[in-house]
A and B are shown apart, each in its own frame.
Chain A
Amino acid sequence: MVMKLREYGIADPDEIYWFKSSIHRGRPEPLDLHLGMFLPTLLTQATLEQQDRFFMPAWNLEIIGTYAQTEMGHGTHLRGLETTATYDPATQEFILNSPTVTSIKWWPGGLGKTSNYAIVLAQLYTQGQCKGLHAFIVPIRQMGTHEPLPGITVGDIGPKFGYDEMDNGYLKMDNFRIPRENMLMKYAKVEPDGTYVKPLSDKLTYGTMVFIRSLIVGDSARSLCRACTIAIRYSSVRHQSELTPGEPEPQILDYQTQQYKLFPLLATAYAFHCVGAYMKKTYHRITGDINQGNLRELPELHALSAGLKAFTSWTANAGIEECRMACGGHGYSRCSGLPDIYVTFTPSCTYEGENTVMMLQTARFLVKSYTQVSSGQLVSGMVSYLNDLSGQRIQPQQVAARPTAVLINDPASLVEAYKLRASRLVEAAAKNLQAELTRRKSQEDSWNRTSVDLVRASEAHCHYVVVKLFTAQLSEINDAAVHAVMSNLCLLYALYGISKHTGDFLQAGILTNAQVTQVYQRVKELLAAIRPNAVALVDAFDFHDNHLGSVLGRYDGNIYENMFEWAKKSPLNKTEVHESFHKHLKPMQAKL
């Protein structure tokens, strides 16, 4: 594939993504870390001299590198990483060590078998002091023989849920020496005599994180789009039971329960598509600002990207499984493609920031903004709704007077409803945190005891943002027919979300019991309204059959013949009589 990339001169990250996904159907592969982490890290953190030495060999794939950060016992808490790099001024070398079992590098993609280099994150020790985490370029396999170098123990971590193609690996280092020049020294430095030179600001790394998270949000949307395409096409081909006695079996997509499973997910897929596009756009806009030294918006975007990454990946993760189960037994067969989409997607709930941890990062920002508002300062951006709190000091009675304001057929009004819910939950979490703080001394303990509330607040905030972005998108659609169908999807997304969290809306007095009943009713009406366009709406995602990789989701809908053809290729079908019959069954029968 890399050869082809070079041949066609494809270099833009987006183009690489589409090229790759059309070959691999969005599946992982051993060179992902090399292209996605090793090369970019060289570009951003290596000195010019280092780039001269390493970049071209890496670009030409003479060096294949990976990025080794996570250890067996440490992931989320970077300061807890145990690998050490101790500077020896006598030889001008760093001595790398994995002092414990828990410090073995674990999980990096391409590390097990493919890579001959790794960028290793380790605690830097020089002149007897620990200077924290730094990155080092470490050769791990012999050029020519590909054998591990002396002092290096490297291998594959064994089978996983999915990602079979990827050799996620482990790496253990015993007094392994590398030259001083192999520390990535664009920012921090160690002088030949061992003197440590500190880096400048570390806020810049926020930019990279926002970018990666925006990719995950996009991936959430795409994975859900694929799953919906398969499930909805299958549901229009599969006939089952009877709706009307005496008539032929109907398409299962005509059952209300099936529509109720799939259409809200379809709406979600479209909603997340908007969110992914928004994040990418914002990232590019802000990158411009960063280059001009303006970091003002970065903290909010960083906080928001954490929550949206978690919110969308959790929802998509559950949604893919819904789609699979909506395909009944056949969804469970790998010919449906759905198990593979799921196992490939699900780790994104964990990697690049565990989702609960992400939600709590967003919560920290929300609480900070709330505190700011409480002390009389205004906040801006997506959290500006918190400013309203200071004026009104929301009281239940006051809010209860509002319900008539919400119009359940008006997306803009629903955005307001979500906004109220978010502000009420942020306020509740912040107040509970405050109450814990007055009862106990420790900040951390109080935070921990409020974390369930805090996650709820973050979720409500993210939900509001998604509804807001989706609604805003509507005004940009000019085609009347497209606008009509997208409006229905947007309404469904918003109303379905309310129907799943009625408690929040009732308890805060945003909606009345009667309105909640109307919401339930309206959701069902929307299902019927979307039904005629359902297949067209997934066709619009425009996945090629090769990319979809699903017998059930084929564009032509000829599923049963093709399932049979697919099954014939099963490894168990190689011979008409399986060898285990001769080895085990027959001898057994003879004995009895």
Chain B
Amino acid sequence: MAQWNRSGYFRSSVSRDVNPDLEAERRTASFSVERLTAVLDGGADNTRTRRAMEAVIHRDPVFSREKQYFQSQNERYEAAVRKAVRLKEKMLQRGWTENRPETKYFYRALGGDVAFNVHRVFKNSILALGTDEQIAKWIPLAEKYHIIGTYAQTELGHGTFLRGLETTATFDTSTQEFTLNTPRISAMKWWPGDLGRSATHAVVFAQLYVKGECYGLHPFIVQIRSLRDHLPAPGVTVGDIGPKMNFEHIDNGYLMLQSVTIPRENMLGRFSQVLPDGTYMKRGSDKINYLTMIVTRVEMLWVEVIPALQKACTIAVRYSVVRRQSKLNPGEAEAKILDYQTQQQKLLPLLATAYALHFMNAYVNKFYSKGYTEIREGNFDSLPELHALTSGLKAIITDYCTAGAEVCLRACGGHGYSALSGLPFLYTKVAASCTYEGDNTVLFLQTARYLVKCLAAVHAGQPTPPSVAYLSLTNSRKCWVRTEADLLKPDIYAEAYRRRASRLLSTAAAKLQALIQSGAEEYVAWNRCTVQLVQAAKAHCQYIIVKNFIDTVEKLTNEAEIQKIMKHLCDLFALHGIFSNTGDFLHDGYISGDQMDLVTASYLDLLAVIRSDAVPLVDAFDFTDENLNSALGSYDGHVYQRLYEWAQKSPTNQQVSQAYESYLKPLFQGALSKL
């Protein structure tokens, strides 16, 4: 049998033990996988750095994920804490910093399976919301893990609606302290990661009361466990919220505060402060609390969400060329399941999506870095656009990746259902992203609210920010496509998407306007238009993603082969989107029924084109076997041997089952005499 432990890092050396079905796919690649990997990494230097860091992680047995699928919640949690601690040691030894791109690489190598992720959110929130003195006091402690922090915003009864949070922080001028309270059970903090068992401190969001007046939601640093014996601090009730669909390695927790006092200096004060005499002072925008959420939303996309889809595609595509089932032609061997059109139709559009989102993320990061710096300097001009853009993209990207990972899981038949395929783990983990850091429907509506405002600005002849400038373009009446080849022109499909986004927004906005003019209160009218508004926001995001894919492909001019295959993927992504939403494009007659038949034909033809490069395209994501942790998706394609070997490790096979002794044995005894 093949060797199981070969690290993906050394894979560039020619390996002789790759499954021939997989080997054959790689031999016919139309482009250099290594160069595409470099493009994805933003340069060959980055690829080298990344691989070096991944190798360090994979060589260390502490980081091994070999037992992951067999562990209990307790074991998973403990392993994650152990990994976090070891990672800290490694970082100190090697001089790695928490600044990108290193963070990105080791989190990628760990597959997110490490504790204290929210500890980073804790630090980020202090960096974003704290004064310079607060940063100087708390950040070094947090860096050294002398304190472990969490970010406690969501409550048992409240998530989306921040103003509805019930935790209170009341200032007492005589003691110069805030007293924090959880007034009722629905006000318990619920869900924050690292809170249940690990955290010693929390940034707690509470309604600020001074002299009987409520000033709204503010962040406070609260110590919740003793630094000496780790026991809960007086007045603090804290624990784990119990098993979830995944994230068993994280101690998502609850927190109840009963008259817990903290000094005045513990209110994070970059944007608002309470002076010793109780005077409340505010500077900057109300929206500043959103900044931490924006940071987290942007980070989660590249840490957790997009890689999940890329990994799922890697596993499903590799497995689909190793798995053979039924015959395409009588007399021939059973066919690779990827040769079935229905399998291509499931997986290849997802592969195109994985690329589209990777490029979209690169754009968002650039946009965000610029905006973040400006906001920190007190210039809030870009905040609304940044907020709208990241809200909508977070929603659509998590939707895409969650749905996509599930399709990959089901595309692997029965074996996809085995935990050892790695797919249930990927799916259940990414599925959480649709609700954490903002429920997707709510986020789409935030983007929609911004779009409606921008559309009003366009009508009023005012200037609009770049990401919505398209709303002011005039619409052509008919699509002029005549052949399948016409549909492969990016201008054509970009225009179709633009028009659709523009039309859906105008329709929704007009309806909203009409309801208001007919006398409905604005909020009632809004609620009655929300289904349409969500559709408009989605169409907007899809247009942006298609447009960005086109722009990215255009810039790949010095990589002719890669540009060519990326162009195919871009075409596939765009045409699949039209094929899946034909009604939107047919509705106002912009695309005719005959043209839609061309879209279908063109889309199906592209599947066959991309089919031949499918394996090289997933190889280019360059996930190590350790990182995929999948018996179906490993680089060498020895699917069945690996499934068999891994199954042996199952705890049920290592120990005698109590079930036999207690229940089955008595039943079986009766047969001894008769058989």
> CB within 8 Å of B: which residues of A?
30, 57, 60-64, 70, 72-77, 80, 101-102, 104, 106-107, 112-114, 116, 143-144, 146, 155-161, 167, 170, 238-245, 249, 254-258, 260-261, 321, 325, 328-329, 331-335, 339, 343, 346-347, 349-351, 354-356, 360, 396, 442, 444-445, 448-452, 455, 501-509, 513, 516, 520, 524, 560-561, 563-564, 566-573, 576-581, 583-586, 588-589, 592
Q: Which residues of A contact B527 (CB under 8 A)?
A: 243, 254-256
Tell which of B78, B186, B671 touches A580, judged by Cβ atoms closer than 8 Å. B78
Q: Which residues of B contact A57 (CB under 8 A)?
A: 670-671, 674-675
Stretch at the interface among B328-336, B480-488, B550-558, B559-567: B328-336
- With A243-B523, A503-B596, A572-B74 as given contacts, are A445 and B329 in contact (CB-CB < 8 Å)? yes
Chain B: CB-nearest residue to A102: B640
Tell which of B85, B640, B646 touches A588, judged by Cβ atoms closer than 8 Å. B85
Contact of B345 with A452 in the complex, beta carbons under 8 Å: yes
Binary flags per residue of B648-675, CB closer than 8 Å to A gives 1, else 0: 1110110001011000110111111011
- With A334-B244, A577-B229 as given contacts, are A503 and B583 in contact (CB-CB < 8 Å)? yes
Q: 13 more A-B contacts (CB under 8 A) besides A241-B160, A584-B85?
A: A62-B667, A101-B640, A143-B675, A160-B418, A160-B424, A167-B652, A240-B160, A240-B164, A503-B596, A516-B583, A567-B241, A572-B240, A592-B145
Contact of B646 with A70 in the complex, beta carbons under 8 Å: no
The listed residue with most A CB atoms (<10 A of its CB), out of B82, B329, B414, B420, is B414
Contact of A571 with B160 in the complex, beta carbons under 8 Å: no
Q: Which residues of B contact A60 (CB under 8 A)?
A: 667, 670
In Å, the complex CA distance between A360 and B328 comes to 14
On chain B, which size bracket covers the interface? Answer: 35 or more
Contact of A339 with B145 in the complex, beta carbons under 8 Å: no
What are 23 A-B pairs at a CB distance below 8 A? A80-B326, A113-B657, A113-B659, A146-B665, A155-B648, A159-B419, A159-B420, A161-B417, A256-B530, A332-B431, A333-B241, A339-B428, A350-B417, A351-B414, A444-B328, A444-B330, A449-B604, A503-B586, A524-B531, A560-B186, A578-B77, A585-B81, A588-B89
Contact of A589 with B419 in the complex, beta carbons under 8 Å: no
In Å, the complex CA distance between A584 and B86 comes to 9
- With A240-B158, A255-B527, A452-B342 as given contacts, are A155 and B653 in contact (CB-CB < 8 Å)? yes
Contact of A143 with B668 in the complex, beta carbons under 8 Å: yes
In Å, the complex CA distance between A402 and B557 comes to 51
The listed residue with most B CB atoms (<10 A of its CB), out of A101, A167, A449, is A101
Contact of A158 with B156 in the complex, beta carbons under 8 Å: no
Tell which of B185, B417, B643 touches A560, judged by Cβ atoms closer than 8 Å. B185
A-facing residues in B580-606 (Cβ within 8 Å): 581-589, 593, 596, 604
Q: Which residues of B contact A355 (CB under 8 A)?
A: 410
In Å, the complex CA distance between A113 and B650 comes to 12
Q: Does B340 contact A (CB under 8 A)?
A: yes
Q: Does B641 contact A (CB under 8 A)?
A: yes
- With A503-B596, A560-B185, A576-B232 as given contacts, are A73 and B640 in contact (CB-CB < 8 Å)? yes
Min distance, Cβ B159 to any Cβ of chain A, angstroms:
6
In Å, the complex CA distance between A452 and B607 comes to 11
Min distance, Cβ B475 to any Cβ of chain A, angstroms:
16
Min distance, Cβ B403 to any Cβ of chain A, angstroms:
9
Contact of B334 with A570 in the complex, beta carbons under 8 Å: no
Tell which of A64, A73, A170, A360 touches B647, judged by Cβ atoms closer than 8 Å. A170
Stretch at the interface among B190-198, B257-265, B297-305, B382-390: B190-198
In Å, the complex CA distance between A245 and B439 comes to 21
Contact of B418 with A157 in the complex, beta carbons under 8 Å: yes
Q: Which residues of B contact A76 (CB under 8 A)?
A: 325-326, 413
Chain B: CB-nearest residue to A139: B675
- With A325-B434, A566-B242 as given contacts, are A159 and B650 in contact (CB-CB < 8 Å)? yes
In Å, the complex CA distance between A298 and B462 comes to 68
The listed residue with most A CB atoms (<10 A of its CB), out of B144, B328, B409, B410, is B410
- With A80-B325, A159-B69 as given contacts, are A347 and B414 in contact (CB-CB < 8 Å)? yes
- With A160-B419, A452-B342 as given contacts, are A570 and B435 in contact (CB-CB < 8 Å)? no
Min distance, Cβ B431 to any Cβ of chain A, angstroms:
7
Contact of A452 with B341 in the complex, beta carbons under 8 Å: yes
Contact of A564 with B664 in the complex, beta carbons under 8 Å: no
Contact of A570 with B239 in the complex, beta carbons under 8 Å: yes
In Å, the complex CA distance between A243 and B328 comes to 57
Contact of B161 with A249 in the complex, beta carbons under 8 Å: yes
Min distance, Cβ A592 to any Cβ of chain B, angstroms:
4
Contact of A346 with B417 in the complex, beta carbons under 8 Å: yes
Q: Does B568 contact A (CB under 8 A)?
A: no
Q: Which residues of A contact B671 (CB under 8 A)?
A: 57, 62-63, 143
Contact of B88 with A588 in the complex, beta carbons under 8 Å: yes
Chain A: CB-nearest residue to B648: A155
Contact of B229 with A332 in the complex, beta carbons under 8 Å: no
Contact of A334 with B82 in the complex, beta carbons under 8 Å: no
Tell which of B243, B582, B668 touches A570, judged by Cβ atoms closer than 8 Å. B243
Tell which of B521, B531, B585, B593 touches A257, judged by Cβ atoms closer than 8 Å. B531
In Å, the complex CA distance between A367 and B581 comes to 26
Contact of B674 with A62 in the complex, beta carbons under 8 Å: yes
In Å, the complex CA distance between A589 and B652 comes to 37
The listed residue with most A CB atoms (<10 A of its CB), out of B145, B154, B664, is B664
- With A57-B671, A72-B643, A585-B81 as given contacts, are A243 and B524 in contact (CB-CB < 8 Å)? yes
Contact of B198 with A585 in the complex, beta carbons under 8 Å: yes
Contact of B587 with A516 in the complex, beta carbons under 8 Å: yes
Q: Does B254 contact A (CB under 8 A)?
A: yes
Q: Which residues of B contact A116 (CB under 8 A)?
A: 668
Min distance, Cβ A209 to any Cβ of chain B, angstroms:
18
Contact of B329 with A158 in the complex, beta carbons under 8 Å: no
Contact of B188 with A564 in the complex, beta carbons under 8 Å: yes
Min distance, Cβ A313 to any Cβ of chain B, angstroms:
10
Min distance, Cβ A127 to any Cβ of chain B, angstroms:
25
Which 6 A-B pairs rank lowest in CB-CB distance, beginning with the nearest? A503-B582, A502-B583, A62-B671, A572-B240, A241-B161, A161-B424
In Å, the complex CA distance between A74 and B325 comes to 7
Min distance, Cβ B576 to any Cβ of chain A, angstroms:
11
Q: Does B221 contact A (CB under 8 A)?
A: no
Contact of B435 with A331 in the complex, beta carbons under 8 Å: yes
Contact of A144 with B341 in the complex, beta carbons under 8 Å: no
In Å, the complex CA distance between A508 and B582 comes to 12
Min distance, Cβ B213 to any Cβ of chain A, angstroms:
18
Contact of B342 with A356 in the complex, beta carbons under 8 Å: yes
Contact of A329 with B159 in the complex, beta carbons under 8 Å: yes
Chain A: CB-nearest residue to B412: A350
Contact of B593 with A360 in the complex, beta carbons under 8 Å: no
In Å, the complex CA distance between A335 and B157 comes to 15
Q: Which residues of B contact A455 (CB under 8 A)?
A: 342
Q: Which residues of A contact B650 (CB under 8 A)?
A: 155-159
Chain B: CB-nearest residue to A590: B146
- With A256-B531, A506-B587, A584-B82 as given contacts, are A158 and B242 in contact (CB-CB < 8 Å)? no
Q: Which residues of A contact B523 (CB under 8 A)?
A: 242-245
Chain B: CB-nearest residue to A256: B530
Tell which of A261, A343, A448, A585 touches B328, judged by Cβ atoms closer than 8 Å. A448
Q: Which residues of A contact B640 (CB under 8 A)?
A: 72-73, 101-102, 104
Q: Which residues of A contact B413 (CB under 8 A)?
A: 75-76, 350, 354
Contact of B342 with A360 in the complex, beta carbons under 8 Å: yes
Q: Does B458 contact A (CB under 8 A)?
A: no
Q: Which residues of A contact B585 (CB under 8 A)?
A: 503
Contact of A325 with B342 in the complex, beta carbons under 8 Å: no
Min distance, Cβ A494 to any Cβ of chain B, angstroms:
16
In Å, the complex CA distance between A104 and B646 comes to 14
- With A256-B531, A321-B431, A328-B439 as given contacts, are A62 and B583 in contact (CB-CB < 8 Å)? no
A-facing residues in B72-100 (Cβ within 8 Å): 72-74, 77-78, 81-82, 85, 88-89
